[in-house]
Amino acid sequence: MAFLLVVLAVVGGWAGSAGAQSAGPIDFLKRLDRSLCDATSNTRCKGKRRARAARKTPDGKPAAAADAADAAAAEDDAIVKPRLRPAREAVEEADVASRQVDGPLVLPKLRPAGLPPVGKVVKPVLKRASPASEKGATKVVVVMPPAGSAAKPRLPDQEELGSNCLKALKAAGASFTSAAQPVAAGACDVNVPVKLAGLMADGHVVALPDQPLLACAFALRFAQWLDERGQPLAKATAGSSISRVYTGPGFDCRGRNGDISSKISEHGYGNAVDIERIKLVDGREFWVKDAGNRLSASYGTLKALRQSACERFTTVLGPGSNTAHEEHFHFDLGRHGKSGTYVICQ
């Protein structure tokens, strides 16, 4: 309460005094600060009172220098000085500046379109294998005739199917005997059956140890193929002529591929042979089961024989066609398609 009265008294005295108006606001602030210090007991004010007492002249009046010092102190107290920046902030800014890299600014590349969002796991789509691959089915390898060849197999004509066939077969140099119609149940039947013992091929006699029972028309076509295509190819690829061809029995009244529920095989008409192996004049034997083995010494010869057969027969099967023909070549003159001339060359 006493402090408030002192303030009011000082303000009132300054407002009504002509001397206060001429002295200005600095003298007023000085007197106000002194009055406040006289009314309080804080450490700063105690120090100022002691300083005024020490500066008083012997007659008890304050010196002019003391008044000037008090005025300067009042000005310092009235002016608000800025705070110093903390040292830690200055250090952090310097550290950031030290990490700046000189040179051109390198922008990151744009993410390619179509990629899944970051963090999303994309599961691969697994395709189920086909039933054929699961069962280990044999891959069918289609062997086409040599490029540029216009030769196509033809079906036997009436002359080859009739009695004149025997004359044509004999003229071809074949060794054979006429055979009786085989006794067989069902629809099996052989047109002009013959037992073929040997052929003349490119000037060399080729023996048929199995003496297959064949229809005369098929025997004639087989003799022509061996003479015109088979023997020359053997000489060119193996360096030796064929001396023997192992054909199996020829006639066999059964279903296709040995399946009794299937249609009758061309073997049931004496219209097919199965070549298991061939023997050359120099004694080498080429087994047909090696026709799919590229590392075999007989591979080139067997491949050439197989391709050339597609020019004379309507069906040519062998290793790679199916499991029933993995060890032999099957040649026949069966009718395929509406025209009967469609060729199955595998």
Structure tokens at 81: 């000085």
Using CA atoms, how far apart are residues 158 and 151, in angstroms rounded to an integer? Answer: 21
pLDDT attached to residue 330: 95
Using CA atoms, how far apart are residues 20 and 23, in angstroms rounded to an integer? Answer: 5
Q: What residue segments make up the domains of the chain, in order of their start?
A: 2-54+64-74, 138-345
Using CA atoms, how far apart are residues 211 and 189, in angstroms rounded to an integer? Answer: 18
Using CA atoms, how far apart are residues 215 and 223, in angstroms rounded to an integer? Answer: 12
DSSP state letter for 328: S
Give pLDDT tens digits along the chain (346 positions).
555 554 555 445 544 444 444 456 667 677 777 777 766 666 666 666 676 666 654 554 555 554 555 555 545 555 555 666 665 555 455 554 555 545 555 555 666 665 666 555 545 444 433 333 333 333 333 344 444 444 556 666 655 667 789 999 999 999 999 999 887 656 788 999 999 999 999 899 999 999 999 999 999 999 999 999 999 999 999 999 999 999 999 999 887 766 666 688 899 999 999 999 999 999 999 999 999 999 999 999 999 999 999 999 999 999 988 888 899 999 999 887 777 777 888 7
- CA quadruple 331, 334, 336, 338: dihedral sign: positive
Phi, psi of 187 (to 5 degrees): -95, 5
**Residue 196: which of 182, 186, 185, 210 has the closest Cα?**
210
- Please answer whether residues 192 and 165 qualify as being in contact, where contact means their C-beta atoms are separated by less than 8 angstroms: yes
pLDDT attached to residue 89: 54
Structure tokens at 134: 């699961």
Partner residues linked to 62 by β-bridges:
56
Using CA atoms, how far apart are residues 268 and 271, in angstroms rounded to an integer? Answer: 7
